[in-house]
Structure 1
C-alpha cells in the first residue's frame, strides 16, 4: 500500500553537515555519517543527501563520501550534487545508492534525464527543482547553483519536460522557505501534485510535525521532506537529530489522509 513518506534531507558542504536559510549562510551542524546512523536507529522512511557545493564548484561527486554513506545507510538513499553524466549516475548506484538526484545538469541538458533513466532505470532518477515565486506572474521561477542562476522556462514547463524525459520522481524545493520553519508552501505543493503523474516530494519550510500533517492533508500520497525540523530543536535551534517515532508517523498519516 502506498503511503506518504517523511524524508530527512541532509545538506553537505566541504564534507560536513550544514543547514542554510534561503540557500544562504550555511551553518555547520555535524558529521553526516553520524546523522545517518541516528536516522537508521529512528527508522526514517528514506534519506536525501545533497552536496550543495559540487555544481557551483564544477566538480564531480565525492564518490568516497557517497560510498561511506551508502555503507552506513539502512534506508533508501538518494544522493545529489555534481552529477553531470550517466556514467557518474551508474557509478553512484553501483555504490549502493537507490536514487540519484539531478538539478542544474538536467536543466542545462534535459537529455541527461533520458540517458540516465536508460542507464539506471527511471525509478532511480530524481529531478530536483529549486523554485521561487516571482513578484509578478503565476508560475514559479526555477533556479540552479544554490539559487544564483535563473533557469529558462517556468516550473510548469520544466515539470512537463522532465516527466516526458523519463524522470521517476520530482523534488520541489522552495528557496524562500528554506530553513525558515514557517510551513510548506501548500499552494505550490497542490499545484505540482495535480499537474504530474510522477511521485512528488516537497522540501522547504517544515517547522513542526503539524506542517507535515498539513501537507499530507492537502496533497495525499506525497513525500514530505525537511532539513531544519530534523536537525534543530527549540527556539534557539540547538542541534539535535530527531525524527518522529513509528506511532507519531502513523498518527500524522492516518489523521491527515482521512480528511
Structure 2
C-alpha cells in the first residue's frame, strides 16, 4: 500500500435522453445534470487527479449494464487509471469493462446478493482490479449483534449497508461486510456515507475510521466533502487511503491541484507534478 494519499474525482453517471451524463445529487436523490463524462475526465487529468471513478448510479436499480462506451472513450482520452461501477453483475461484465480500458471495476449490489462473485472476480482478473463499493447509512435502531458507534452528538448508531443506489437497506452491518469482502478477495473498498452524500457536511469520520481499522485493504472515503479540510480530516482522523469528491470539483470551487497543495502544506504526502 502506497504512503501517498490519493485524490479521486467521482463522476456519477446517468443516462439522460439516451446519452450518458454526469449528474450530482443529495443523499442519492435530486439529481442535476452536469455534462459529458469524458470531458470531465480530461479536465481532471489536467488538474492532477490520481484516478477517476465512474459510477452508473441507476444501472443496478434499472437493470442496465454499465456504459462500456464511456469506458472505451475515456481510455482513449486520458492516461490516468479509472474505475467503473454500476450494473455489473457477473465476471463477464467485469471483463467487458476491463477490456474497454478501465483499470478497476466496482461492484456493489451484485456483491451483496452474491458474495461469491467477489471471489470469482478476484480469481479471474486479480484482486487489485476489484473494488467493492459499500454504501452505508446510520441506523439508530441498535440491532442485536451490530457494531454500535458513538457519533458526534454523543448518540449511538450502527452502520447499515444499502443497495440499489441507496434505495434498499439490507440489515447488514457495514463493518462486518467490509471484513467479509476483504476475505473474499476485494482489493479495495469504496465507502460512501449515504447520510453525507452531497450535503457538504464532511466525510462520515466514525464510519470511515471504523472500516479503515477493520480491514487492511485501501479504503476510499466518499460522501460529503465540501473543501480540502474535509479531506485532511478523512486522512488524519479516519485513516482513509484516498478521498473521493464530486460536487466541489464539478462546480469549480476547488481544483484537484489546489486540494493537493493544501494537503501537502498540512503534512499529507500526495503526488504533485
Tell me if both proteins adopt one fold, taking TM over 0.5 as the criterion. yes
Deviation at 1:251, TM superposition (A): 4.1
Any conservation in 2 of the 1:3–1:221 contact (CA below 8 Å)?
Answer: no
Is 1:37 aligned to residue 38 of structure 2?
no
Q: For residues 176 and 78 of structure 1, what CA distance do their matches in structure 2 show?
A: 23
Partner of 1:3: 4
Q: Deviations over 1:107-140 (max 9, x none)?
A: 0000000111011100000000111001232220
Any conservation in 1 of the 2:7–2:242 contact (CA below 8 Å)?
Answer: yes
Structure 2 unaligned residues grouped into runs of 5+: 143-147, 149-157
Partner of 2:151: none
- Spell out the pairing of 1:95-114 with structure 2 (5 A cutoff): 95-114=100-119
Deviation at 1:147, TM superposition (A): 1.1
Q: Which among 253, 260, 266 is matched to residue 255 of structure 1?
A: 266
Partner of 1:189: 208
Mean Cα displacement is larger for which, 10-19 or 142-151?
A: 142-151
Q: Which among 170, 177, 182 is matched to residue 158 of structure 1?
A: 177
- Spell out the pairing of 1:40-189 with structure 2 (5 A cutoff): 40-137=45-142, 138=148, 139-189=158-208
Q: For residues 257 and 25 of structure 1, what CA distance do their matches in structure 2 show?
A: 34
Instruction: Report the 3-state secondary structure (helix = DSSP H, G, I; strand = E; otherwise coil) of the residue aligned with 2:189.
Output: strand
Number of matched pairs = 250
Instruction: Compute the RMSD of aligned alpha carbons.
Output: 1.7
Q: For residues 77 and 157 of structure 1, what CA distance do their matches in structure 2 show?
A: 27
Q: For residues 178 and 83 of structure 1, what CA distance do their matches in structure 2 show?
A: 22
Moved beyond 3 Å, runs of 4+: none
Partner of 2:256: 244
Any conservation in 2 of the 1:213–1:253 contact (CA below 8 Å)?
Answer: no
Query: Structure 1 residues 221 and 206 mapped into 2: Cα distance closer, same or farther (>3 Å)?
Result: closer
Instruction: Report the 3-state secondary structure (helix = DSSP H, G, I; strand = E; otherwise coil) of the residue aligned with 2:201.
Output: coil
Partner of 2:145: none
Q: Deviations over 1:141-166 (max 9, x none)?
A: 01011211112421122112101100
Q: For residues 172 and 26 of structure 2, what CA distance do their matches in structure 1 show?
A: 25
Q: For residues 152 and 188 of structure 1, what CA distance do their matches in structure 2 show?
A: 16
After TM superposition, the score normalised by the length of structure 2 is 0.87
Q: For residues 84 and 221 of structure 1, what CA distance do their matches in structure 2 show?
A: 27
Any conservation in 2 of the 1:213–1:256 contact (CA below 8 Å)?
Answer: no
Deviation at 1:243, TM superposition (A): 2.1
- Spell out the pairing of 1:216-235 with structure 2 (5 A cutoff): 216-220=235-239, 222-233=241-252
Q: For residues 183 and 25 of structure 1, what CA distance do their matches in structure 2 show?
A: 19
Q: For residues 16 and 150 of structure 1, what CA distance do their matches in structure 2 show?
A: 27
